[in-house]
């Protein structure tokens, strides 16, 4: 039987992204015998090419787009404004670099415990670095993230094919651009580019936009997007020609010519060459082992998995939670099962889009009460010329516990947080209506939606549910066991 000191380390963390860094914080509280391995570049997907540069670009785009309302406010001269795209992109990179520096500072003190190299798993305790040296550990945390997936047929576009890995590195952007794929990433970037004044055509093979399932919210989002770009939904786009002059893309009967294309066709876990097959676990058709969502353990092995490799919760706060769970369990005698937070996903368009808690389902029976608000005539939204979008709430028809929401609404990112916190506290619609609402605010729109759903709720026939589980020491997440 191995003793802990038979290994070089207690824990090896593979991947220094947001998940790996959260695992590092959890592991460091218990041991100094760890190493963090990254193939580089260090600095995390979120800071380098993900959340932060995309939000920087969106902020510039939203600010510029606001000029279309100036006339209605009585403000003149908006037509003289123009977007200096090279300057916009330079600011994105300058600010992005500051965020990356902040991340790099968090591992600056690791010394030799920060290892730059490509890791390959040889067995559940052994990792090879760049095919040159091997390291062993009692436990492993695998947090290697995801990278853009580009369908084969589009790869022929060469440098005219952009992804979010290359978009922010451009010094300038061509006039006509296609965006392929309208998940959260495609929707955000398509609106950013369109609001900066580019001629955007956005394609999605499905009818879904930003993963929204509620038909009313989806319609509101489609209406808002289509005011700034051409949308081609529900048809598989095809590359017709790509010559020196233009790229021609067709979808159904429609064809368009563009100068470049941004692929937003999803991301895939970074597992190529990682050696998952050496763990001795069954792998599914995508080459992934089964992972317990509460312990993040792989089988019964001392191996834990965190971050974007779990494609169903590929979001920053989920990556951070998973890193913490994986880091704690990598050091635990026996892995603990942790509760996961209320699902919350926000897409930072204008109006912003969010999905909270239980996802809308066409097949719901009358057990779920649905209510909503249209912001067209909402007081504060009208005052700010932001009176566009809808919010829909889903609650238990019996008793009125709030279960979920989808929205495309002004200040949607803030409304989504209020709703997520209420769901996490298992609040009922009636309890939320007892809360203060200041006047005049966008939050009053939430109150209108709560009143609407309250009209469909009937009193509970059963006693209240048991209290929430005990708080788990050393973690901000609830322990299930």
Question: Reduced to 3 DSSP states, what percent helix, strand and coil does the chain have, rounded to the nearest 5?
Answer: 35, 25, 40
Residue 181 binds to ligand NAD (criterion: CB under 6 A): yes
Binder of ligand FAD out of 14, 258, 391, 395 (CB under 6 A): 14
Q: How far apart are CA 90 and CA 260, in angstroms?
A: 20
Nearer Cβ to ligand NAD (149/426): 149
- Residue from 435, 477, 433 nearest 452 by CA: 433
Q: List the interface residues with ligand NAD, window 267-306 (CB under 6 A).
A: 267
Least distance to ligand FAD, CB of residue 38, Å: 4
Q: Decide if residue 207 touches ligand NAD (CB under 6 A).
A: no
Our CB check for ligand FAD shows the closer of 14 and 239 to be 14
DSSP 299: T
- Concatenated DSSP letters of 16-45: -SHHHHHHHHHHHTT-S-EEEEE-S--S-H
180's contact among ligand FAD, ligand NAD, none, with CB below 5 to 8 A by partner kind, is ligand NAD
Give CA–CA dist 348/413, Å, rounded: 8
Task: Pick one of 107, 139, 144, 387: the residue that binds ligand FAD (CB under 6 A).
Answer: 144
Q: How far is the CB of 406 from ligand NAD (least distance, A)?
A: 14
Among residues 15, 17, 43, 186, the one that binds ligand NAD under rule CB under 6 A: 186
Residues 314-333 that bind ligand NAD (CB under 6 A): 314-315
The conformational region for residue 109 under phi > 0 = left, psi -120 to 50 = alpha, else beta, is alpha
Long-range contacts, 126-132 (Cβ 8 Å, 24+):
127/12, 127/14, 127/37, 128/275, 129/37
Of 412, 393, 417, nearest to 404 by C-alpha is 393
Which tokens in the block code for residue 413?
């990112």
Q: Answer yes or no: are the C-beta atoms of 478 and 470 closer than 8 Å.
A: yes
Question: What is the smallest separation between the CB atom of 295 and ligand FAD, expressed in angstroms?
Answer: 18
- Taking CB under 6 A as the rule, does residue 186 contact ligand FAD? no
By beta-carbon proximity to ligand NAD, the closer residue of 21 and 353 is 353
262 counts as binding ligand FAD under rule CB under 6 A = no
The reply to whether 350 sits near ligand NAD by the rule CB under 6 A is no
Among 348, 360, 375, 394, binds ligand NAD (CB under 6 A): 348
Cα dist. 448→417, 440, 480 in Å?
Answer: 17, 13, 36
Map residues 244-273 to x or -, x wherever contact with ligand NAD holds by CB under 6 A: --------------------xxxx------
Binding window for ligand NAD (CB under 6 A); candidates: 16-24, 124-132, 202-210, 457-465: 202-210
Instruction: Could you list the beta-strand ranges (E) of 287-438.
Output: 303-305, 344-347, 352-357, 368-374, 390-396, 402-409
Site string for ligand FAD, 16-35 (x = CB under 6 A): xxxxx---------------
Q: Which listed option, ligand NAD, ligand FAD, none, makes contact with residue 44 (CB within 5 to 8 Å by class)?
A: ligand FAD
Torsion of Cα atoms, 266 then 270 then 273 then 279, to 10°: -120
Residues 6+ away with beta carbon under 8 Å from 335: 295, 296, 297, 304, 329
Strands 230-233 and 199-204, by their bridges, are parallel
Give the binding site for ligand NAD (CB under 6 A): 151, 180-186, 188, 203-206, 208, 211, 236-237, 264-267, 314-315, 345-348
Give the binding site for ligand FAD (CB under 6 A): 14-20, 37-39, 44-46, 50-51, 54, 118-119, 143-145, 164, 185, 270, 274, 307-308, 314-317, 319
């Amino acid at each position: 039987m191995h003793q802990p000191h038979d290994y070089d380390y207690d824990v090896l963390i593979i991947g220094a992204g947001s998940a790996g860094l959260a695992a590092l914080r959890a592991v460091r509280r218990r041991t100094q015998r760890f190493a963090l391995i990254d193939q580089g570049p260090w600095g995390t997907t979120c800071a380098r090419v993900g959340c932060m540069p995309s939000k920087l670009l969106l902020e510039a785009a939203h600010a510029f787009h606001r000029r279309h309302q100036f006339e209605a406010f009585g403000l003149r001269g908006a037509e003289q404004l123009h977007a200096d795209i090279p300057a916009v992109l330079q600011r994105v990179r300058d600010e992005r670099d500051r965020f990356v520096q902040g991340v790099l500072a968090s591992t600056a003190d690791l010394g030799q415990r920060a290892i730059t190299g490509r890791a390959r798993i040889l067995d559940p305790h052994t990792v090879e670095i760049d095919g040159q040296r091997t390291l062993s550990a009692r436990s492993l945390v695998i947090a290697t993230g995801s990278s853009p997936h580009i369908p084969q047929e589009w790869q022929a576009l060469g440098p005219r094919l952009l992804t979010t890995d290359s978009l922010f590195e451009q010094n300038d952007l061509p006039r006509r651009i296609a965006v392929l794929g309208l998940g959260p990433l495609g929707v955000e970037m398509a609106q950013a580019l369109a609001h900066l004044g580019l001629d955007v055509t956005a394609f999605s093979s499905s009818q879904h936009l930003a993963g929204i399932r509620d038909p009313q919210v989806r319609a509101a989002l489609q209406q808002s997007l289509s005011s700034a770009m051409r949308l081609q939904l529900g048809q598989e786009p095809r590359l017709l020609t790509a010559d020196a002059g233009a790229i021609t893309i067709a979808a159904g009967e429609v064809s368009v010519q563009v100068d470049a294309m941004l692929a937003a066709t999803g991301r895939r876990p970074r597992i190529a060459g990682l050696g998952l097959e050496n763990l001795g676990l069954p792998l599914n058709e995508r080459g992934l082992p089964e992972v317990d969502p509460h312990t993040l353990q792989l089988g019964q092995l001392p191996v834990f998995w965190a971050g974007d490799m779990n494609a169903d919760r590929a979001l920053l706060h989920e990556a951070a939670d998973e890193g913490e769970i994986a880091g704690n369990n990598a050091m635990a005698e026996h892995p603990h099962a942790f509760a996961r937070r209320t699902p919350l996903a926000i897409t930072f368009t204008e109006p912003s889009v969010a999905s909270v808690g239980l996802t809308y389902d066409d097949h719901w029976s009358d057990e779920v009460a649905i209510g909503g608000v249209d912001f067209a005539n909402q007081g504060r939204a009208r005052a700010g010329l932001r009176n566009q979008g809808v919010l829909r709430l889903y609650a238990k028809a019996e008793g009125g516990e709030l279960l979920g929401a989808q929205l495309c609404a002004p200040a949607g990112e803030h409304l989504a947080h209020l709703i997520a916190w209420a769901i996490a506290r298992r609040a009922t619609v009636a309890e939320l209506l007892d809360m203060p609402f200041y006047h005049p605010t966008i939050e009053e729109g939430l109150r209108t939606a709560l009143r609407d759903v309250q009209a469909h709720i009937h009193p509970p026939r059963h006693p209240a549910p048991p209290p929430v589980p005990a708080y788990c020491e050393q973690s901000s997440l609830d322990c299930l066991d």
